């Protein structure tokens, strides 16, 4: 296998009941294979700390949170962060179109957006998750994008490049996806996956980001593309320091 490590998801993790949030552990075995798992094993180290904030009643902000709905209506916002998106997608080998789709659905490209749960910025990162991803200023558009794309990279590795599971985990948490063995049966998460994959296909087929970003009904979309995977080339950089990581496509 040489110096190139291959990502491996520990199968036992999928058999354990998990909450919607799960810590992610990493270890490198004797063959140089980089493993990610939601279960702590001998020799592993905590890679990403996930937290489950206390649930709030629907429409009620969590304590200390001041929600801010996206309000920017300037169509140029859809190209305002192009450089950061290209940089982050290239670094973490996540399709640029997927990054754009997540930003579109999460914040509609308004970096001031704050959810009732406390998620912030273009990619709606929770503060604890952002901190675990090395984000120092969650309100900075560039840092927010890099943190969100890095998280997508971790999830894509964890779910073997499966687009739907990666997107579902970004919304509901990797633990929920493992617990249910697929997209969780949450209406909000299922709708989220439909929206993100819909815009992903629009960004793949419509060259102009502004035109592709304009609202369209996912149910009426005539675009039909093969189900994609989020799988980079073997030259993809690691998501953390250490041996390079390669994601195996299904």
- For 206, counting Cβ atoms within 10 Å of its Cβ (0-12 exposed, 13-18 middle, 19+ buried), the class is middle
106 is catalytic: yes
**Residue labelled with tokens 């140089």:** 32
Q: How far is CA 129 from CA 43, 134, 135, 173, 248, in A?
A: 23, 9, 9, 11, 25
Q: How far is it, in rounded angstroms, from Cα 108 to Cα 72?
A: 8
d(CA 61, CA 54): 11
d(CA 166, CA 7): 15
Task: Give the pairing of strands 245-246 and 45-48.
Answer: unpaired
Q: Catalytic pick from 96, 106, 143, 174?
A: 106
Largest CA distance in the chain: 53
DSSP at 227: P
Q: Is 250 exposed, middle or buried (0-12, 13-18, 19+ CB in 10 A)?
A: exposed
Q: Are 188 and 142 within 8 A, CB to CB?
A: no
Measured CA distances, 25 to 16, 42, 47, 113 (Å)? 15, 11, 5, 30
- Residue 111 neighbours by CB distance under 10 Å: 21
- Catalytic positions: 106
């Amino acid at each position: 296998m040489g110096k190139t490590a291959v990502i491996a998801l520990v199968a036992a993790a999928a058999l354990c009941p998990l909450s919607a949030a799960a810590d992610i552990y990493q270890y490198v075995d004797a063959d140089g294979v980089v493993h990610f798992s939601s279960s702590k094993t001998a020799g592993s180290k905590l890679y990403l700390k996930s937290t489950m904030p206390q649930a709030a009643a629907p429409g009620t902000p969590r304590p200390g949170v001041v929600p801010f709905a996206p309000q920017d209506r300037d169509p140029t916002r859809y190209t305002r962060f192009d450089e950061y998106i290209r940089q982050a997608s290239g670094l973490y080998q996540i399709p640029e179109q997927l990054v754009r789709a997540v930003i579109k659905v999460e914040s509609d490209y308004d970096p001031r957006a704050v959810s009732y749960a406390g998620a912030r910025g273009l990619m709606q990162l929770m503060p604890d998750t952002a901190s675990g991803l090395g984000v120092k200023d969650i309100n900075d558009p560039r840092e927010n994008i890099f943190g969100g794309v890095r998280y997508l990279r971790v999830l894509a590795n964890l779910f073997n490049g499966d687009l739907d599971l990666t997107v579902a985990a970004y919304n509901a948490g990797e633990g929920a996806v493992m617990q249910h063995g697929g997209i969780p049966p949450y209406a909000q998460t299922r709708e989220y996956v439909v929206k993100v994959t819909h815009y992903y296909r629009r960004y793949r087929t419509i060259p102009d980001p502004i035109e592709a970003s304009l609202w369209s009904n996912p149910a009426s979309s005539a675009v039909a593309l093969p189900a994609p995977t989020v799988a980079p080339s073997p030259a993809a950089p690691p998501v953390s320091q250490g041996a390079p990581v390669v994601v195996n496509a299904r």
